Amino acid sequence: MGKMNRQLAILNLTGALLPELKEYFISRNILVVDPLINSGTADWTHIITKDIHDFNLINDTYDLTQKDRHIISLSQVSDLQNFTINNGNIILDDIWFKGNLGSFIMDKYFQGYGGITLGDNYPSFQEMGSFNVTNPFNTGEYLDRMVQKAFESGIEALTLKTYFDHLVMYVAGLKKKEKAGLPFEITYGVYEDVFALQMHFFSQRLEILDVTTGLSSIITKKADEYFLNVAVQSADFFDFSYMPEVNKVIITGLWTKDERIKFENRGLMFTALEAGRIFHKYENEGASSSLVSDNEIPDFTDKLSFSQKDELIATSTVLKGSSVQEESSAVVKGSADEAITSTVVAGSETEKETLTKVSSAEEVETEDEVRIIKGEMGLDELVNVVKSKFEEEKSVIRVSGNKLDIEKVAYRIAASVDESTKESNLKVRSLGNKIPDLIKTGLFDFAKNLNKSVDDLGDSDIDQFQIQKLPEIIRQGILKKEEKSAARENNPQDSTRIIEAKLLNATQENDKLKSQLRNLAAEVRILKESRAKVAEIQMKATKAAVEVVAQKSDDPDDELRKQFQQKINDQKLLNEMELKKLGGLLERESKLIAEVKAEEMKTRKLHIENIQKETFYSQEIEKSQRQLKAKDLMLIKTKESFTKLVEKKENEISELRQKTDQLSRTLATAPSQTQTKTIKDLEKQNANLFKQLDVYKIKLSSLASKMQTTKDDDNKDDARKLQMINNQLKNQLDMAKKESEKWQSKASQDHGQILAMKQEKVRLEQVIKKLNIESSKESSAPQQPTVNDQELKRLQAHNQILENQLKENSTKVMALESKLQEALKLQRTGQPTGDDGSKVKVTQLENSVKKLTQDIVESKGLLAEAKKETNKLRQEKTALQNMVDKLKKDAVKAKAAMPKKPNGKAA
């Protein structure tokens, strides 16, 4: 954060500060700037506000984001998101300064010290326990133990539990986004009547947006949007610190038993800590392992009813006076601008450590800044204007990723010195080549304003130029560049629109401020009236007193008094009547005295009250006047800035107009060669474009006509399409027919073959019969062969089987034929008519074609099987034939062997 490198100065927008706070600032050498005196000139680092809720306005007015200034609010903030986005860091009610924690928190904030353990962050706290969360959904036992400790310490443990649950879920959400790492380490402890709970975890890429998005006050379905807000609202003080050096986030919640700190006084702090800045060592911390503290957790449910009782007690208790215990408070010595700041914790027995040294590294220029200083590179080349994430209007000037310290760089550029020399008193020494034109012209203008030439400028003048003018010149230069580039992107009309919008906004804001002013004026009027009324009452009271005195002067008792006085003077004795009268007089007198005394007391009281009221009213009036003045100032500033902006824009517009006028004039008077060329080019381009236009027109007309024709012929087209499909289907059918014919012819061939085979079979049977007859004849002979009979029988059986198979095949062929006929029938019936129902027919045809193709496939399969069978049968046939041949031969042999009959014939 680099807080220590700058002199701490605070712009006070709250009016009168609390005496404790005032004292605190004085003791820490922190300069408090009054906005009515020197807000413009002083380089303040923080701004204190109270009862302000629109932080955008504050940011716009005082350039908080751009100048790295931070807001401290001394009252509750309605929109935490808005507060944090606008560099809001700390919310701490005045009431905190009545105790000893307020100054400690402020010290912690301003000095940025702290560490990742409770002892480092809040050194006075005594650690009561610690645990690590490795599974965010498994924290029950730890939480119970912690709540037990909180109950023992007398802290409202329900809020603690709510806080812890929501915080753990928020961090678990960050873990889901890979912005937080496990484990989450938790420590809790107490210090007097304050209970603290601290969590730290590793977080590498945490952005402010991750924090602000969790601070929404609206409860929606997306729980991670309000988890952090609930946690913040559940703690009396919430401290969110980030340590960029070690990528760790430390979140601390504090709960106090102090009756003065209520819901509306709770505090909040966002800080970036510097690593290694531990200022305290707490010896006892972290000494106990929870491994060994495994005692049972007692039941504290009865405590829940106590909390209600406590509330009742709280309402009846009288506020105690603040008793600041100096012994236990942390006192931070030394001013912020000192190079080494030491922090001493008074009252603690631990060793006192010297704090870190402020590194001088941050004062050294970056490489790019050195290049700018040396004149090697122009500002335009290296400077980037970075737009704000949240509001487009805001921008920061950056060089090599870092914020450009314009004052420092400007000073060195003007001096045109080498970075390595590091001179302390640098001045503009020359107007050589290295110094940018921007600075040169600035210097010339400056000299002109002083009615001097550049050479006559004295040291004091140059100092003044460098300190006051130069940063502004460079800033203006950069902004001009940015505006120019923006203007290039947007046309002038847009820019005027933007200006108009800005003006509208400004007028709206102006109206708002005016209404606020009116309200304040009304308040002042009311206050004045009340004052007048008080004065009137006082007047009346004095008059009444005078009247009472006047009435009393006519009292009969006076005569009695005079009489008695006379008698006392004459030294006469009093009779009984007179004594009675005297007694009555005395009684009346004593009553009167008592009444007078009472009246006196009343008047005194009235007087005191009056004085109190007067002082209160005067304070209030003063406050409101200050606020009024501050708001006036803001108004004036905004007005000024807007008028400047408008002027600038007007100037630009007029410049642009002039330029266009000039150009038009030059065009009108004498066109140069280049202009004629460009005109010719433009004419050519124009002609080309016209041609293109014609072409497109023709295209358009043709497209239109096409559209017309397509509209007319829509139905015809459909019919044509259907016809086409029909034709295609017809062709397919023809093909199918041909295929079926082919198969038919094949089937007939096969049938012929089967018939031939049948005939052959019959022939063979006849042959066998003949042979049988012959063999029967032979059986009469003594040497009859039985083997042949057996073989024949077998052949017959085989023949029977073959016949059966043939029958089956023929039936299959028949079935195929019938199927083919069916298909042909379907072909004949499926003729398209081209009517309205053609579509249905087409689908029918398609289906029939499908069927046909399926049938064809089936018939092909069957045919293949039939072929196989025929082949088998052929083989069988040849085998049978062979057998028959063999039998024939045997028979011939047998015949030859038989004895011849007398008629000479063989048996």
| Ranges within 268-287 binding another protein (CB under 8 A) | 275-276, 278, 281, 285-287
The tokens of 204 are what?
A: 């590498």
Task: Output the smallest distance, CB 296 to another protein, in A.
Answer: 11
Nearer to another protein, 287 or 312 (CB): 287
Site string for another protein, 22-41 (x = CB under 8 A): --------------------
Nearer to another protein, 98 or 200 (CB): 200
Cβ atoms < 10 Å from Cβ of 470: 25
Task: Output the smallest distance, CB 189 to another protein, in A.
Answer: 14
Nearer to another protein, 24 or 202 (CB): 202
Nearer to another protein, 245 or 595 (CB): 245
Q: Does 174 participate in binding another protein (rule CB under 8 A)?
A: no
Q: Does 349 participate in binding another protein (rule CB under 8 A)?
A: no
Q: Does 401 participate in binding another protein (rule CB under 8 A)?
A: no
Are the C-beta atoms of 212 and 81 separated by less than 8 Å?
yes
Are the C-beta atoms of 118 and 125 separated by less than 8 Å?
yes
Nearer to another protein, 173 or 267 (CB): 173
| Ranges within 796-855 binding another protein (CB under 8 A) | none
| Ranges within 115-154 binding another protein (CB under 8 A) | 115-117, 120, 130-132, 134-135, 138-142
**Longest C-alpha distance within the chain, in Å?**
227
Phi and psi angles of residue 51, each rounded to the nearest 5 degrees, phi first: 55, 30
Cβ atoms < 10 Å from Cβ of 167: 25
CA distances to 513, 617, 688 from 519, in Å = 10, 17, 67
Task: Output the smallest distance, CB 646 to another protein, in A.
Answer: 49
> Which one, of 369, 397, 376, lies nearest residue 475 by Cα?
397
The tokens of 325 are what?
A: 């215990």
> Which one, of 29, 91, 124, 107, lies nearest residue 325 by Cα?
124
Can you tell me the distance from the alpha carbon of 651 to that of 76, in angstroms, rounded to the nearest whole number? 44
Angle at 689 between CA 688 and CA 694, to 5 degrees: 95
Nearer to another protein, 3 or 98 (CB): 3
> Which one, of 45, 5, 107, lies nearest residue 359 by Cα?
5
The tokens of 158 are what?
A: 């329900």
Can you tell me the distance from the alpha carbon of 853 to that of 831, in angstroms, rounded to the nearest whole number? 18
The one segment of 70-78, 199-207, 317-325, 668-676 that binds another protein by CB under 8 A: 199-207
| Ranges within 202-221 binding another protein (CB under 8 A) | 202, 204
Task: Output the smallest distance, CB 129 to another protein, in A.
Answer: 10
Nearer to another protein, 196 or 278 (CB): 278
The one segment of 164-172, 176-184, 742-750, 811-819 that binds another protein by CB under 8 A: 176-184
Interior/surface letters 265-303, b for 16+ CB within 10 angstroms, e for the rest: bbbbbbbebbeebbbbbbeebeeeeeeeeeeeeeeeeeb
Site string for another protein, 286-325 (x = CB under 8 A): xxxxxxx-x-------------------------------
Among 246, 313, 346, 857, binds another protein (CB under 8 A): 246
Question: How many residues form the binding site for another protein (CB under 8 A)?
Answer: 39
The one segment of 160-168, 239-247, 396-404, 711-719 that binds another protein by CB under 8 A: 239-247
Phi and psi angles of residue 899, each rounded to the nearest 5 degrees, phi first: -70, 140
Are the C-beta atoms of 412 and 373 separated by less than 8 Å?
yes
The label of the residue with tokens 């007391």 reads: 601
DSSP secondary structure letters along 390-444: S-TT-EEEEETTEE--HHHHHHHHHHT--TTT--SS-------TTS-HHHHHHHH
Task: Output the smallest distance, CB 333 to another protein, in A.
Answer: 22
The tokens of 448 are what?
A: 């002109």
Q: Does 248 participate in binding another protein (rule CB under 8 A)?
A: yes
The one segment of 197-205, 253-261, 422-430, 876-884 that binds another protein by CB under 8 A: 197-205
Task: Output the smallest distance, CB 268 to another protein, in A.
Answer: 23
Task: Output the smallest distance, CB 353 to another protein, in A.
Answer: 11
Q: Does 245 participate in binding another protein (rule CB under 8 A)?
A: yes
Nearer to another protein, 138 or 783 (CB): 138
Task: Output the smallest distance, CB 402 to another protein, in A.
Answer: 17
Can you tell me the distance from the alpha carbon of 22 to that of 16, in angstroms, rounded to the nearest whole number? 9
Nearer to another protein, 127 or 750 (CB): 127
DSSP conformational letter for 469: I
Nearer to another protein, 207 or 529 (CB): 207
Helix and strand numbers (H, E) in the chain are 24, 16
Per CB under 8 A, residues contacting another protein are: 115-117, 120, 130-132, 134-135, 138-142, 181-183, 185, 200, 202, 204, 243, 245-248, 275-276, 278, 281, 285-292, 294
